[in-house]
Chains A and B, each alone.
Chain A
Amino acid sequence: MTTYIIRRLILALIVILIVTLIVFFVIRLLPGDPLIIFLGQQAQQGGITQEELEYLREEYGLNDPIMIQYLHWMGGIFRGDLGTSIYYHENVGVLMAERFPVTLHLGALALIFSNIFGIGLGMLAAIRHGKWIDTVSTVIAYIGVTIFTPWLGILMIYLFGLQLGWLPIAGYISPFDDFWLSAQKVVMPVICLGIGGLAGSARIMRSSMLEIIRQDYIRTAWSKGLRERTVILRHCLKNSLIPIVTLAGISVGIIFGGSVLIETVFAIPGLGRLLVTSIFAQDYVVIQSGTLVIAVIIILTNLLVDISYGWLDPRIRYG
């Protein structure tokens, strides 16, 4: 097991290194010059001279050979310095520190929402196999994977925000500032972010539970005269949950990918919104550090999933 973990860890590090290379060199291919956009801002304040432009190029290291720029960036990361945004004129670490908690807050809630409802729905569907609840669960699972989530957001904004007036239609506020308002504001974004994961867990939970329910030890549990609740929760649920763990890595990807769209719909100042703005502004530094952070989180989640899989299911032995 230890050898397995070490091997996986080394592989993950190699993959992360490749990620940094991809991110860095792909972004250098962006057409245009980030300084031009910066100059657009400066022009309104009275223009900029050729010398100042050269100074800025030197300042942001845009004149260095590309390998030096890469090493410079990597060196910065190890010192905890993610670079300075050309567009926001601010340290990327500071920019991310403001926005990352927002995305994390919504993402964590979405993960909880999708798993609680997904597992519950999948479980009910399996227990009442072929009954109406099974049909409802299948339909919800289909909707979850096929719906265009920004559109779902817009539908909810129309219904709950504009028509019924139950929920605020956009924005974000930290739960530490105003818990009740924050809770109201996150409901719709969290549903949008979590619906895909919900569908996934419901589907996997249903098929996994259906398989477990036919096992011999479940029959034994029934014949011992245990109550339905004990059989389902103690004996079935625990074992059916294992495949759900594999889904966690995929769900984290869905949530981060979705945050790009959902934060745009609900005007939420999170990491997704920051990345979209930076891509349009060709702000190299923010894009490369932002995507790197997301990719590292996803790779590490998948690593944890792989390791915990072997730990949860003793039948799986790694050499």
Chain B
Amino acid sequence: MVKERNLSEEFQEAPPRVSEWKRFWRVFFQRRIVIFGLVILAIFILTAIFADWLAPHDPYRGILKDSLQQPNSTYWLGTDIQGRDTLSRLIFGARTALAVGFITTGVAAFAGITLGLMAGYFGGIVNMVIMRIMDALMGFPLLLLALLLAAVLGSGIQNVIIALAVAMVPGYARVMHGLTLSIRENDYILAETAMGASASRTMLGHILPNALAPMIVLGTMQLGTLILAEAGLSFLGIGITPPGAAWGAMVNDGYRYLRSNPVLSFAPGLAIMIVVFAFQLVGDGLRDALDPRLRGLL
């Protein structure tokens, strides 16, 4: 990198020092569209946390005589075949989506970052073994791999989380591997090694902090993908055990009554789209705010 630098650039005056945090705050909150995404996410998270208080009816036990009601003053979004309130199920579905989204991202990011870091730092046979397995996992479409694993593990939300996490690991590992390779070439890593720092100290103390920003952006972007994948699994009937509420399963359940009660299917699908959209907006905002290449431009 140093060799390629233009001579004229070296004599340029250094830009005034700006606190990274201040710059991040300014760029991130500057755009109204990002704020909009954050507001949606805040509503989504609060809905999931306070689902018990917010839901007007019992989401699991319906009143059979109220089966398949059209939206009215009692049931704002109507009821399903078992007489369960759609709005209440939608609110409890937010809890499922949130739990699956955040826990899976945490698990997948942790495993992926560890594997990518090790592969990139140690190189050689470690790199070969880890990255070829990641390549192999990448060969499967995300949904198909998750479907396969979820079928092996059986139903239940914790198994959906494990299945999706395994399916997401290669993405994190690959990005982390690339980042490690480029960060490792820096002079400060050489200095650290020369001073006799251990491998774990170099990896955790120097490489990881420098790779954190792009990983956070990736995680935010992946949250949306995950919510879509979870919806896909529950749409196919894998994951949540019957009385539980999941948006994907609700879309499929409502599909059967599309002619008479289209809202049953429309409402949960719209919820998925709004939440994924919000994650996408915030992810884009984070990316622009954390991208060092845009320093000075934004």
Contact = CB atoms under 8 A, between A and B. Distances in A.
B175 interface: no
B75 interface: no
B228 interface: yes
B133 interface: yes
B262 to A, nearest CB: 6
A200 to B, nearest CB: 12
Contact of B231 (A148, A260, A287): A148
A276 B147 contact: yes
Interface stretch (B12-20, B65-73, B83-91, B270-278): B270-278
Interface string A274-292: 0110011010000100010
Interface of A is mostly: helix
A91 interface: no
Contacts of B258: 154, 157-158, 162
Given A27-B152, A148-B231, A154-B255, A18 B140 contact: no
17 contacts: A11-B132, A15-B139, A18-B135, A26-B148, A142-B277, A146-B280, A148-B269, A150-B252, A151-B270, A154-B266, A264-B236, A265-B255, A275-B147, A279-B147, A279-B148, A295-B136, A298-B139
Category for how many chain B residues contact A: 35 or more
Interface string A291-317: 100111011000000000000000000
B31 interface: no
A145 B280 CA distance: 9
A158 B266 CA distance: 10
Given A146-B224, A257-B143, A18 B132 contact: yes
B251 A261 contact: no
A22 interface: yes
A155 B266 contact: yes
Given A148-B248, A260-B236, A15 B266 contact: no
Interface of B: 132-133, 135-137, 139-144, 147-149, 151-152, 154, 224, 228, 231-232, 235-237, 247-248, 251-252, 254-255, 258-259, 262, 265-266, 268-270, 272-273, 276-277, 280
Interface residues of A, number: 48
Given A11-B132, A148-B235, A253-B141, 6 more contacts: A18-B133, A146-B280, A148-B248, A150-B235, A260-B143, A279-B148
A140 interface: no
B137 A22 contact: yes
Given A148-B231, A162-B259, A142 B280 contact: yes
Interface in A225-282: 253-254, 256-258, 260-261, 264-265, 275-276, 279-280, 282
Interface in A138-179: 142-143, 145-148, 150-152, 154-155, 157-158, 162
